[in-house]
C-alpha cells in the first residue's frame, strides 16, 4: 500500500490524490443486481479504504466465514499468504534442509514464510524488532531462532546461526539488514526481494545493497516477486494453506484495529513496527 | 585480478603480500620431466606474473599456436571468452530477439558478450568510454548501438535505445551504470553480475544499486557468476567460439603491452579504461 502512494512506474498504477486509497478487504453484500453475488454473501476484493464499495464483481470472489474468520481472508488466505507461499516455494526455490533467513519475520508475510519453511523441514531464523516478537517467533511459531534487530548485533548473530551460510533469504525490509544477509550467503543462495519497508519513507535515495557483489562470489541470485503473477495457482495454494491451518501447522495472526477514522494511525504501524502479524482495520460492524 | 588483491572471502583465496601475483598466461615449455608436457609445447595455465614458472602440470593444458595466435588463448579462447559465453547464454538465459545491454562493452569480456548476443540475433547496445570505443562497437563489432558514458546522458540514451526495456543486462562495471540499467528493466529481465570495475578501487563502501527494487516491480533477477563453475563445458564452448572466429562472426581483440617491468602501469589501464579488448602483457620474447 505504501508503494502505491509513490508517483512512479510500478506493477500497478499509483493511487491519485483525492482517489479512495486502494486496499484489499472483505465485505458483506448488502444490495446486488449481480447474478452470482447475492445479498448476505461475503466477498473478498479490492474494496478500497471505505465503509461501502460498489463493484461490477470483477476480481471479487466469495469467502465462507464458517471455514475461517473473515480477517484471515485478508491475511493468510489472501494476498499476504499467497505472497508468502509462492515467494518461499517458487521464487526462493526452497529445498528440504535449507538454512533460511526471513526479515520482517513477525509481520504478515514473514510469519507465514517462516512457518511454511518449517513445514518443509528447513532451518528457519527470523529477524524482528524487540524481544517480545522474537519470543513469539520461536515459542509460538516454532522458528529455530530469532534475531532482534533493535538490540542484537545482527552480523554476529548471523554468523552464529548460519555457520554454513544462508541458502534462502526472504527480505521484506531492505537497508542494513539486506546488506548483513548478503555478507553471509551460502553458495548458490537465493535472495527473494518481497519488499523494503525500511526504505519506503526515505526522503533521500533508497539505500542500495553495498554487498551485492556477494552474489558474484557465491553464484547467488536476487529475484523480485509480485504475487499477481501466480494468480492461476491461488486456489491450489489457498487449499494447501487452509489444510495446514486445520492441521495446526500454520498459525494466522491478525492485529485488528477499529474505525475508518483510525486508518492513518493504523497504517503508520507498518513503519513503526508496532503490530504483530497482519494489520487489519475493521471499518464496519458486522 | 583486482579482486584477488582484497583481503576478503571470495571464490578464490586472496594473493598474499610477497607472493607472485596470480595471473593466467600462455607459455612455452623449456624443460620438462612431465610425461604429457614436452619441451617446445605451448601451454595455458595459472603462470603468475613472471617470466619463468614451474608447474606440476595440474590445471595446465596445451594450446596450438597454429590454430590461433597465442594471445587469443588468454582472451577469447581462454577464461575471458568462457566468462562471456556462459555469462550471456547460461546465466543471462539469452533468447532470440532479446534487447541486450552490455557495460564495459569494449573490454575483453564485454566485447565477446555483445558479439555472441548478435550471433544469437539479439538487439545489442554497448556502453563504453569515449567516441572511439563506441565507434569500434558499432562499426567493427556490429553492435546495434553504443552509449559513451563519458559524454552521453546515459538515462536518456537508455530510454531511446530500449523503448520496451532491457531484457538482459550484462554488467562489468557496477555503480551508476548499474543503477541506470536497473531503472530501465523489462519484465522478467535478467541482470548478470560479472564484475564491478568502477567499484574495486573504492576507499569507501561499494555503492550498492539504489534501484534494486526494480527487480521487484519487474519480477527480474540479478545473478552472480564465476566462470570456474562451467569448467566441464569449457571445451565445447571453446570449439564453438573457435568456429565463430573462423567464420568471421567473432572478432578477438587483444591490446598487447611488453615487458614485465611494465606490469603495474599496464594493470592500471583496466581502471583508466585506456585499452581496447583484452589487456595482455608479453613478458618474454618468443
Residues B103 and B13 in one domain: no
Name the average pLDDT for chain A: 95
Name the average pLDDT for chain B: 95
A207 to chain B: nearest residue by CA?
Answer: B210
Neighbours of A138 (CB within 10 A): 15
pLDDT confidence bin for B200, thresholds 50/70/90: confident
pLDDT for res B18: 95
Residues A105 and A166 in one domain: yes
Question: What single-letter DSSP state applies at residue A261?
Answer: G
Residues B176 and B65 in one domain: no
Contact B225 A213 (CB under 8 A): no
Residues of chain A contacting B220 with CB distance shorter than 8 Å:
223-224
Summarize the confidence of residues A107-127 as an average pLDDT: 97
Instruction: Give DSSP secondary structure letters for chain B.
Output: --GGGSSS--SSPPPPTTSPPP--EEEE-SS---SSS-TT-EEEE---SSS-----STT-EEE-TTTS-HHHHHTTTSHHHHHHHHIIIIIS---TT-EEEEESTTBHHHHHHHHHHHHTT-EEEEEESSHHHHHIIIIIS--SEEEETTTS-HHHHHHHH-TT-EEEEEESS-HHHHHHHHTTEEEEEEEEE---TTTTT-SS-----GGGGHHHHTT-EEEE--GGGGGGGHHHHHHHHHHHHHTTSS---EEEEE-GGGHHHHHHHHHH----BEEEEE-S--
Q: What is the pLDDT of residues B264-274, one digit of tens each?
A: 999 999 999 89
Question: Does the residue A223 lie in any domain?
Answer: yes
pLDDT for res A96: 96
Q: What is the pLDDT of residues A27-61, one digit of tens each?
A: 999 999 999 999 999 999 999 999 999 999 998 99
User: Does the pLDDT value for residue A69 go beyond 90?
Assistant: yes
Residue B41 C-alpha, separation from nearest chain A C-alpha, in angstroms? 34
Residues of chain A contacting B229 with CB distance shorter than 8 Å:
219
Residues B132 and B271 in one domain: no
Contact B193 A216 (CB under 8 A): yes
Q: What is the domain count for chain B? A: 2
- Of the candidates A283, A201, A250, the one whose C-alpha atom is nearest the C-alpha of residue A76 is A250
Residues B125 and B15 in one domain: no
Reported ipTM:
0.87
Q: Please, is B185 exposed, middle or buried when counting C-beta atoms within 10 Å of its C-beta (0-12, 13-18, 19+)?
A: buried
pLDDT for res B242: 93
Domain containing residue A267: 3-77+252-282
Residues A177 and A275 in one domain: no
* CATH number of residue A68's parent domain: 3.90.180.10
Which among B9, B216, B221 has CB closest to A226?
Answer: B216
Residues of chain A contacting B208 with CB distance shorter than 8 Å:
179, 207-212
The three three-digit cell numbers of residue A280, written as one number: 487489519
- % of chain A at pLDDT higher than 70: 100
Amino acid at each position: 500500500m505504501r508503494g502505491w502512494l509513490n508517483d512512479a512506474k510500478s506493477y500497478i498504477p499509483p493511487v491519485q490524490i483525492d482517489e479512495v486509497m486502494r486496499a484489499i478487504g472483505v465485505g458483506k453484500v448488502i444490495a446486488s443486481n449481480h447474478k452470482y453475488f447475492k445479498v448476505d454473501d461475503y466477498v473478498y476484493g479490492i474494496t478500497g479504504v471505505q465503509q461501502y464499495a460498489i463493484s461490477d464483481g470483477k476480481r471479487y470472489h466469495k469467502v465462507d466465514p464458517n471455514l475461517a474468520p473473515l480477517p484471515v481472508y485478508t491475511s493468510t488466505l489472501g494476498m499476504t499468504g499467497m505472497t508468502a507461499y509462492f515467494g518461499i516455494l517458487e521464487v526462493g526455490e526452497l529445498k528440504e534442509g535449507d538454512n533460511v533467513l526471513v526479515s520482517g519475520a513477525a509481520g504478515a508475510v514473514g510469519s507465514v514464510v517462516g512457518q511454511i519453511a518449517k513445514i518443509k523441514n528447513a532451518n528457519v531464523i527470523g529477524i524482528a524488532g524487540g524481544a517480545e516478537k522474537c519470543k513469539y517467533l520461536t515459542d509460538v511459531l516454532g522458528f529455530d531462532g530469532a534475531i532482534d534487530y533493535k538490540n542484537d548485533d545482527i552480523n554476529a548473530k548471523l554468523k552464529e546461526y548460519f555457520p554454513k551460510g544462508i541458502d534462502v533469504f526472504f527480505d521484506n525490509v531492505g537497508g542494513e539488514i539486506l546488506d548483513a544477509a548478503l555478507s553471509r550467503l551460502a553458495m548458490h543462495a537465493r535472495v527473494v526481494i518481497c519488499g523494503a519497508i525500511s526504505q519506503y519513507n526515505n526522503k533521500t535515495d533508497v539505500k542500495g545493497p553495498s554487498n551485492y557483489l556477494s552474489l558474484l562470489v557465491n553464484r547467488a541470485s536476487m529475484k523480485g516477486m509480485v504475487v499477481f503473477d501466480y494468480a492461476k495457482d491461488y486456489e491450489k495454494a489457498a487449499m494447501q494453506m487452509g489444510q495446514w491451518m486445520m492441521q495446526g501447522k500454520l498459525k494466522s495472526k491478525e492485529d485488528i484495529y477499529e474505525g475508518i477514522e483510525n486508518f492513518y494511525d493504523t497504517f503508520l504501524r507498518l513503519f513503526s513496527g508496532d503490530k504483530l502479524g497482519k494489520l487489519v482495520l475493521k471499518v464496519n460492524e458486522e
